[in-house]
Amino acid sequence: MLIIGNVLVSEELIDKCFCCDLEQCKGECCVAGDCGAPIAPEEVAEIEDYYPDFQKYMTEEGVAVIENGGTFVYNGGDSFDTPLMESNDACAYACFEDGVAKCAIEKCFRRGEIPFRKPISCYLYPIRISRVGIYEALNYDHWSICKSAVEHGNLLKLPVYQFLREPLIAKYGESWFAQLEEVVRLRNENLH
């Protein structure tokens, strides 16, 4: 693990390659799994506040799930997830375009209608954040549905942390990312 400020960074984020390939995976990460995407506690209010804005991009079933059960699933403590649709286990916020699952929240953001992009756990995927004492730990989540993203990333020789440059900066800032790049540069020099 590398330590950048108060963040532990798995070396897999430097050594492994990744680049989403929606044409191949069809946004399966928005559909597969047995629970919704993690929502940070500070994102709960944003999702509730902007729901009326992005609701128009959601499926009828997704809207019904939110209207009947709320904008999040509470798991106790500071743990929240996005709700799921019953018919296909997709995230309630998923919308489908040409057979590809996308995020209704992000669609609204990209159209300049809201300032909130989507939950950071989705934006940072395949990185998952956990707590280790006083640190946040960034780990690479291996999931078989992302096989095409791994192949695409290997073809491009694009490390996970570089693929996720924009969301890492959104989460931790430009200065933090510059420190990460410097640590990676020094690490790679020492390995050769």
Q: What is the tens place of the pLDDT at every residue in 19-44?
A: 999 889 999 889 987 788 999 999 99
Residue 120 has phi, psi (to 5 degrees) of: -60, -30
Query: Tokens 């799921």 appear where?
Result: 84
- Domain C-terminal end among 57, 84, 117: 117
Of residues 79 and 119, the one with the higher pLDDT is 119
105 and 47 in a common domain: yes
Within 8 A by CB and 6+ apart from 133, the residues are none
Q: For residue 192, what pLDDT band results from cuts at 50, 70 and 90?
A: low
Per-residue model confidence (pLDDT) at position 34 = 78
191 and 112 in a common domain: no
76 and 53 in a common domain: yes
9 and 76 in a common domain: no
Query: Tokens 């491009």 appear where?
Result: 156
Per-residue model confidence (pLDDT) at position 54 = 96
Give every strand in the sheet of 7-9, ordered side by side. 2-4, 7-9, 135-140, 127-132
| Residues of the domain holding 100 | 26-117
Tell me the three-class secondary structure of 66-128, residue by residue. Answer: HHHHCCCEECCCCCEECCECCCCCCECCEEEECCEEEEHHHHHHHCCCCCCCCCHHHHCCCEE
- Domain C-terminal end among 117, 145, 169: 117
pLDDT of 135-165, one tens digit each? 999 999 999 999 999 999 999 999 999 999 9
130 and 110 in a common domain: no
41 and 105 in a common domain: yes
Q: Does pLDDT of 8 surpass 90? A: yes
- Domain C-terminal end among 117, 134, 168: 117
- Work out how many domains the chain is built from and give that number: 2
39 and 109 in a common domain: yes
55 and 34 in a common domain: yes
Per-residue model confidence (pLDDT) at position 179 = 97
The answer to whether 15 and 7 are in contact (CB under 8 A) is no
105 and 134 in a common domain: no
The CA radius of gyration of the chain, in Å to the nearest whole number, is 17
pLDDT of 85-136, one tens digit each? 987 889 999 999 999 999 999 999 999 999 999 999 999 999 999 999 999 9
pLDDT of 52-78, one tens digit each? 999 999 999 999 999 999 999 998 888
The token duo for 107 is 């669609």
81 and 51 in a common domain: yes
101 and 70 in a common domain: yes
8 and 32 in a common domain: no
